[in-house]
Structure 1
Amino acid sequence: MRHTAHLGTGMGWRPEIAEAVERMPGLDWVEVVAENVCPGHLPDSLRRLRERGVTVVPHGVGLGIGGAERPDPARLAALAERAEALGSPLVTEHIAFVRAGGELTASPRLEAGHLLPVPRTKDSLDVLCEHVRIAQDALPVPLALENIAALVAWPGEEMTEGQFLYDLADRTGVRLLIDVANLHTNHVNRGEDPCAALDELPVEAIAYVHVAGGFERDGVWHDSHAHPVTQPVLDVLAELASRVSPPGVLLERDENFPAPEELEQELRAIRRTLATGEARRLLPARTRTAAPARTRTATPARTPAVRERAAELVAVGRPSGAPLHMEPAAPEVTEDDSEREGEAEGENDDRSRTARQRLALAQAALLSALVAGTPAPEGFDRQRLTVQSRALTAKRADVIAKVAPELPVILGDTYRRAFFSYAGKRPMTGGYRRDALDFAEYLLLAGESESPGARRELSDWWLARSGPAPVSAHPVARFVRRARYTLTGR
């Protein structure tokens, strides 16, 4: 049986709204992007919230637990360190891949800079379950994984989203972070029924729920986290609350932050929606509208609810003084049995390697099409891949503007045009800070900054940040210095 901490109603903590979050009435907890906090130097706002007894949950975005490679031990150690520094009851991440290529495919490693969906196949599920077990062993607190929004669908999927999440939770015991905005996004973009997903979910595994805003354009829903929460998203929340009382619900907002009053109004709307869903759940069974029965791929006897009921039946019928669970005597193991077990283990290892290899190749092909301009893999909607590719580039430009805010200032109105030109030729391979340096280097070598003043500022910026080695030893640095001398005589 899962024991999940009761969290209540929360807000995503961001530096831009730190003071507003601190003053919000009735706020039970906050969530912080794990990669954006340093355990040894917590922001004063988070420290004050913790001192008041407000729970803080780290929410990772860079682990890529749904990728083909096993989770990076350093990233897991960083998540564990943040959980301990914040005194968190759990850690959360996403069912997604964020990088591909490398040794498994003998191809260049590529970074998406975004959460991309995993295929809902048996191969993908097997690999993901292994990764979850690795992560659970490395973390000091329980792990919860979030369903993500997607613009594209994998061809040849073998499970629905609800079935995939059900089997994942059933096989690993991992908790689920259900994002109702992402269920709505997948409804618009992929035609998936959010009610069907909720019917198939193991609701007892839910750790908490995300609610966020977005907008629709040309038939595509953009999960922006920069717009107010819409009624259709609240409707999905009400559907979930009519099935189970979630331990926690959190409002996410990452951009275009409104006045604190508007955020508080959205939190009140979330609380009203939860109350509406709870009222429906508590109606007498005969007055409640029955949801259509759904078929799950998981074996019913493996579900937690059935296991608990079986334990009750055993308890009622067991002999006086007998233990609750009576294990049968272990059969005698022969040499032939040991050989057969060894052969079975070898076959399982072979299947695991084959599944990982297939997944690695598929993810590398998709990511390469999105960020490196290679042909679309067979079976994908090419138009949707184009939309996703543009969205990835736009997000990449936005993040670079935050990581290196000097660059938009130096380049002015030409920043986005220049970045899109760069991104079309140079996929990201080493994270956003490396990407910002590569972007500046690209502009300097290509001579695409328009004025001598901008080129001088850009060269000064790049030279100051180009790494721990002496800049005089860097070939690009020598080029930049020669170019600057030509332009300025210094």
Structure 2
Amino acid sequence: MRVLGTGIGWRPEIADAVERMRGIDWVEVVAENVCPGHLPESLLRLRERGVTVIPHGVSLGLGGADRPDEGRLTALAERAEALGAPLVTEHIAFVRAGGALTASPRLEAGHLLPVPRTRDALDVLCENVRIAQDALPVPLALENIAALFSWPDEELTEGQFLSELVERTGVRLLIDVANLHTNHVNRGEDPAEALAALPLEALAYVHVAGGFERDGVWHDSHAHPVPRPVLDILTGLAARVAPPGVLLERDENFPDPAELVRELTAIRGAVAAGRSHAARGTAARGTAVAGAAGAGAGGVGVVARPVAGVRERVAVAQTAVLSSLVAGTPVPEGFDRVRMGVQARALAAKRAGVVAKVAPELPVILGAGYREAFLAYARQRPMRGGYRQDALDFAGHLLKLGRPAEPGARRELRDWWLDRAGPAPRKRGLVSRVLRRRG
């Protein structure tokens, strides 16, 4: 495995601070947020200094029932080549459902959702991973995700699921220790047991991030400081294997650069503590990892099954789950209705927040009523495309209802919508005029 060192998630809001930080060996960038032909100057300067840049995809949905979209794979490959990346990463998740396999409308989650740990889901995931590997110019690593809910009647533990995935595809793993903590709080999964069962010999690198707990549910926000339990899990991982790279993720509510540096220092300390334990022989990592590999791979068959009919079964199950979360259909039997309700509200809240970011004029035009209006819209209208399309759909929905009530705001919203929904921009100065109102 290539040694990466200590890294941080590159975001435009902290680009200058990242460039000034000492001891940053590599950065990770959300693949969908950069254009190969117009890379941010900050990333180019980091690359010139020898800092490795890795694209991290969020929209492939390799755990979904459909075959990976060729256009998305091509886009990810282009970003890997433009950034000179040694590998690319994605998630073990599904992000959309419906469509041709179920003869139902396509639904978008706008979020990473857990796949069931079943034989059907594993077969589909393995085939999708092999398709992606064939299309990418560099190795692929997949991340374990955080989840608010569990699937009923799962057939495999996470360790068994990931071990067989690695054995059948050769894919590498990106282990997010914050997600292990999230699943501990939300699903009762013991982090130490999870680490002992993971095929850590396939480790590419590690994610570390913060979150918060509310009403007994842990939210993986990437907007809060890294808590001590997450650092302890990182120490436990480092006691079993030397992580090739460790990266701090932060997506919003960015603190002072000095606070980010303190978090990076704490992360280095957690890794050093784990390696010290390993050197003293206080963690029996060799036995644990060897046992986990045997239980995960040797105890189950690894012969691929035909997935033609399997895809349809997975599609039906995932569509029922996603429809209950974003379209208000009944929660499928066996799922925790309370947790599914929490997940549904979290998805709607995330939609509102991301739409406000990609279309910052909308909260300005609608004022304090933006969030309430968007959540009411989201309860009736599942997302049918990306977030930019969602912003257009939301604006069009309001205009059909004759809103906002104030004529000037309604006229401004109509102009904003027409400027983007038509074949060519109508009023090039609209964005700057609207945003000036924010001041």
Normalised TM-score (structure 2): 0.93
Equivalent residue letter for 1:90: L
Go from structure 1 to structure 2 and tell me whether the alpha carbon gap of 1:287 and 1:422 turns closer, same or farther (over 3 Å shift): closer
> Please, which of 384, 406, 417 is the counterpart of residue 429 of structure 1?
384
Q: What pairs with 1:59-74 in structure 2 (closer than 5 Å)?
A: 59-74=56-71
Which residue of structure 2 lines up, in the alignment, with residue 331 of structure 1? Answer: none
Matched, 1:276 2:276: no
Go from structure 1 to structure 2 and tell me whether the alpha carbon gap of 1:370 and 1:284 turns closer, same or farther (over 3 Å shift). Answer: closer
- Give the match for residue 410 of structure 2: 455
Q: What does 1:169-188 align with in structure 2 at a 5 Å threshold?
A: 169-188=166-185
Distance, in Å, in 2 between the alignment partners of 1:392 and 1:68 is 20
Alignment match, 1:296: 295
Match of 1:387 among 312, 323, 342: 342
Q: Quick one: which amino acid aligns to residue 401 of structure 1? A: A
Secondary structure of 1:115's aligned partner: strand
Query: Could you tell me whether the CA contact under 8 Å between 2:96 and 2:106 is conserved in 1?
Result: yes
Supply the distance in 1 between the matched residues of 2:397 and 2:23 (Cα, whole angstroms): 49
- Structure 2 match to 1:102: 99
- Could you tell me how far apart the structure 1 residues matched to 2:380 and 2:281 are? 61
> 142-151 or 445-454, which moves further after superposition?
445-454
CA distance in 1, matches of 2:144, 2:300: 25
Task: Tell me if structure 1 keeps the 8 A contact 2:55–2:80.
Answer: yes
How far is 1:297 from its partner? Answer: 3.5
Cα shift readout 1:114-135 (whole Å, capped 9, x = no counterpart):
0000000000000000001000
Distance 1:418 1:284, change over 3 A: closer
CA displacement, residues 28-81 of structure 1 (integer Å, 9 cap, x when unaligned): 000000000000000010000000000000000000010000000110000000
Distance apart, 1:285 and its partner CA? 6.2
Alignment of 1:391-470 (within 5 A): 391-468=346-423
Q: Is the 8 A contact 2:36 2:78 kept in 1?
A: yes
Query: 1:285, 1:195 → 2: CA distance?
Result: 14
Q: Which residue does 2:430 correspond to in 1?
A: none
Given the alignment of the two structures, is residue 92 of structure 1 paired with residue 109 of structure 2, yes or no? no
- Map Cα deviations across residues 447-487 of structure 1 (whole Å, 9 max, x no partner): 2313111101101101111132799xxxxxxxxxxxxxxxx
Q: Is 1:138 the equivalent of 2:143?
A: no
Q: In the alignment, which of 90, 103, 122 is matched to residue 119 of structure 2?
A: 122
CA distance in structure 1 between the partners assigned to 2:258 and 2:201 by the alignment:
34
Q: Please say if 1:35 is aligned against 2:32.
A: yes
Alignment-mate amino acid for residue 21 of structure 2:
M
Distance across 2 between alignment mates of 1:91 and 1:172: 15
Change (3 A) 1:152 1:465: same
Contact 1:80 1:139 in 2 (8 A): yes
> Which among 341, 358, 371 is matched to residue 313 of structure 2?
358
Cα 1:164–1:287 shift into 2, 3 Å: closer
Whole-angstrom distance in 2 between the partners of 1:381 and 1:193? 20
**Displacement after TM superposition at 1:196 (Å):** 1.1
% same residue: 72
Query: 1:245/1:426 Cα in 2 relative to 1: closer, same or farther (>3 Å)?
Result: same
Q: Which amino acid aligns with 2:112?
A: L
Kept in 1, the 8 Å contact 2:197–2:296? The answer is no
Q: Deviations over 1:394-432 (max 9, x none)?
A: 000011001100000000100000001111111001111
Find the residue that maps to 1:221 and give its secondary structure: strand
Cα deviation for residue 284 of structure 1 reads: 3.4
- Taking the aligned partners of 1:207 and 1:102, their CA distance within structure 2 comes to 34
- Answer whether contact 2:126 2:165 (CA < 8 A) is retained: yes
Alignment-mate amino acid for residue 278 of structure 2 = R
Among 322, 328, 331, the residue aligned to 1:373: 328
Cα displacement string for residues 325-364 of structure 1 (whole angstroms, at most 9, x for unaligned residues): xxxxxxxxxxxxxxxxxxx99xx54xx1221111000000
Query: What secondary structure sits across from 1:254 in the alignment?
Result: coil
C-alpha distance 137-289 of structure 1, shift in aligned 2 (>3 A): closer
2:87–2:141 Cα contact (<8 Å) kept:
yes
Q: Retained in 2: the 8 A contact 1:170–1:302?
A: no
What displacement does 1:286 show?
A: 9.5
Alignment of structure 1 residues 269-348 onto 2, 5 Å: 269-284=266-281, 296-299=295-298, 348=305
In the alignment, structure 1 residue 46 sits paired with structure 2 residue 43: yes
Cα distance in structure 1, aligned partners of 2:83 and 2:70: 20
| SS of aligned partner of 1:110 | strand
Residue of structure 2 aligned with 1:198, choices 189, 195, 199:
195
1:183-235 per-residue CA deviation (whole Å, 9 max, x = no partner) reads 00000000001111111111110000000000111000000000000000001
* Matches of 1:408 and 1:286, distance apart in 2: 52
The aligned amino acid for 2:7 is: G
State how far apart, in whole Å, the 1-side matches of 2:124 and 2:218 are: 29
Structure-1 separation of matches of 2:323 and 2:45: 44
- The letter of the residue matching 2:240 is R
Would you say 1:261 and 2:258 are equivalent positions?
Answer: yes
Aligned residues: 424
Q: Check 1:287–1:45 CA distance in 2 against 1; reply closer, same or farther (3 A cut).
A: closer
How many angstroms apart in 2 are the aligned matches of 1:466 and 1:287? 60
Within 5 Å, give how 1:223-234 maps onto structure 2: 223-234=220-231
Identify which of 110, 115, 122 aligns with 1:113.
110
**C-alpha spacing 1:444/1:198, structure 2 compared with 1 (3 Å):** same
What is the letter of the counterpart of residue 356 of structure 1? R
Unpaired stretches in structure 2, ≥5 consecutive residues = 427-439
Cα deviation, 1:265-310, whole Å, max 9, x if unaligned, reads 000000000000001111136999986966724117999xxxxxxx
Cα pair distance change 1:67/1:302, threshold 3 Å? closer
Give CA-to-partner distance per residue, 1:232-274, whole Å, 9 cap, x none.
0001101100000010000000010000000000000000000
TM-score of the aligned structures, taking structure 1 as reference length: 0.84
